Amino acid sequence: MIEPKTIFLIAGEPSGDARGAELVHALKEENPSLRFEGLGGPKMQAAGVKLIYDLTTISALGFSDVVKQYLKIRKIFYDALTHVQNLKPTCIVLIDYPGFNIRFAKKIKKQFPVFYYVSPQIWAWGKRRIHTIKRVVHHMLVLFKFEEALYQNAGIPVTWVGHPLLESVQASKEKSELKREFGIGEEKTVGLLPGSRKSEIERILPIIMETARQIAQREKRITFLLSESSNVSKEIYDSILKPFENQIKLVRIRNRMYDIAVVSDCAIVTSGTATLETTILKIPFVLIYKAAWLTYFLGKHLIRIPFLGISNIIAGKKIISEYIQEDAHPETISEEVLSLLNNEQMRSEMITNLEEVRKLLGPTGASKRAAKTILKLLNS
């Protein structure tokens, strides 16, 4: 009896966990006999991946957070390396998470085919990493068209598959049904999307809430919808929200970011996957980001592009306002949000720009194209 092929995957964050789960489902459709093991999160596990560790439970946002958990991450790394060498999978699929994954690829490059799905953001910083990728990765599967040209120019085998979010980003119900469910009438609505990691919530949610308080002082008929993540305990949200009790009308909703965005007139969004998701839904928004001081200091000297938000990067111009680190003042952010709520021309122009970015993400079917590419490469 021939043993089915085993694919080992590594994803380290909630967004990578989602991409990994989508890829596993697509691979199973192509070849139901495939087996999957790896590092990932609950979505990959639900898709049928035998996890040796849930990496999404490690809340590391930037360099300083990684330093704090170095020993734990190091043990997981070497345990996974030993497991792979014993398992002898057909191939390794690395999903984003470059600090961990590129080092892992260095260790196993000569033993197994290595495919990298969701490119590290080498176009923003760490361009020297492209030389390492050329040595240790057999094939790149990228989400953005401009990444394809970047790797082709470096002589690295690459396939542009498009973005899988185009298939998954949609509300669970019609907008009118959601408004009734959330208790929203004719008032204006602002979505608050502070991220999905504990460190993000602790640094950024207080700024977002103070911004909401200042907006509420000037816009009397307004409701705020807070997107809470199951990755973060209710007690952490409670402690941050306590000072704002009875000052704003706030509806707290868990694990329903897309539903929140769809019913919002505009949103305040922490930099990350959520900015692209909000773009796909064509909801006007502002971007906010605040990292640990050391992470920001290092990043400021490494990043070589004028924008942080992927929507601005894809557009090649500023289409959304970015409030980063010391510029993340509630007074300034609240002014921009009020303009998005009340200036129809500004709203219309932003929605048009978001639609253009959405078109640049390519056609739907990214996960299926990625799966077909991986299997074709294995068979060849």
Domain ranges, ordered by start, for the chain: 6-164+365-379, 175-360
Give the least confident one: 63-67, 126-130, 188-192, 220-224: 63-67
pLDDT at 125 over 90: no
35-40: strand order across its sheet: 50-54, 35-40, 6-11, 91-95, 114-117, 139-142, 158-160
Q: What angle do CA 335, 340, 343 make, to 5 degrees?
A: 100
Mean pLDDT, to the nearest integer, of 295-307? 54
Mean pLDDT, to the nearest integer, of 350-366? 96
Residue 304 has a pLDDT of 58
Q: How far apart are CA 326 and CA 291, in angstroms?
A: 10
Pairwise pLDDT comparison (307 vs 168), residue with the higher score: 168
Domains 6-164+365-379 and 175-360 share a fold: yes
pLDDT at 65 over 70: no
pLDDT bucket at 111, cuts 50 / 70 / 90: very high
Mean pLDDT, to the nearest integer, of 97-107? 94
Specify the fold of 6-164+365-379.
Rossmann fold (3.40.50)
The set of residues, in sequence order, having a beta carbon less than 8 Å from that of 222 and lying 6+ positions away, is 187, 188, 189, 190, 215, 216, 248, 249, 341
Mean pLDDT, to the nearest integer, of 31-38? 97
Residue 325 has a pLDDT of 82
pLDDT digits (tens, 9 = 90+) for 134-150: 999 999 999 999 999 99
Spatial CA neighbour of 113 closest among 142, 96, 136: 136
Mean pLDDT, to the nearest integer, of 300-324? 81
Mean pLDDT, to the nearest integer, of 12-17? 88
Q: How far apart are CA 307 and CA 323, in angstroms?
A: 11
pLDDT at 306 over 80: no
Q: How many CB atoms lie within 10 A of CB 60?
A: 23
The rounded percent of the chain whose pLDDT value lies above 90 is 78
The rounded percent of the chain whose pLDDT value lies above 70 is 91
Q: How many separate helices (H) and strands (E) can be counted in the chain? A: 18, 13
Predicted structure pTM score? 0.83
Residue 249 has a pLDDT of 96
pLDDT bucket at 172, cuts 50 / 70 / 90: very high
Residue 69 has a pLDDT of 79
Mean pLDDT, to the nearest integer, of 103-113? 92
Tokens representing 98? 């470059």
Averaged pLDDT score across all residues of the chain:
91
pLDDT at 84 over 80: yes
pLDDT at 292 over 70: no
Task: Enter the CATH code of domain 175-360.
Answer: 3.40.50.2000
pLDDT bucket at 305, cuts 50 / 70 / 90: low
pLDDT bucket at 1, cuts 50 / 70 / 90: very low
pLDDT bucket at 301, cuts 50 / 70 / 90: very low
pLDDT at 100 over 60: yes
Spatial CA neighbour of 157 closest among 118, 212, 115, 194: 115
Q: What Å distances lie between residue 213 and 114, 118, 223, CA to CA?
A: 49, 37, 11
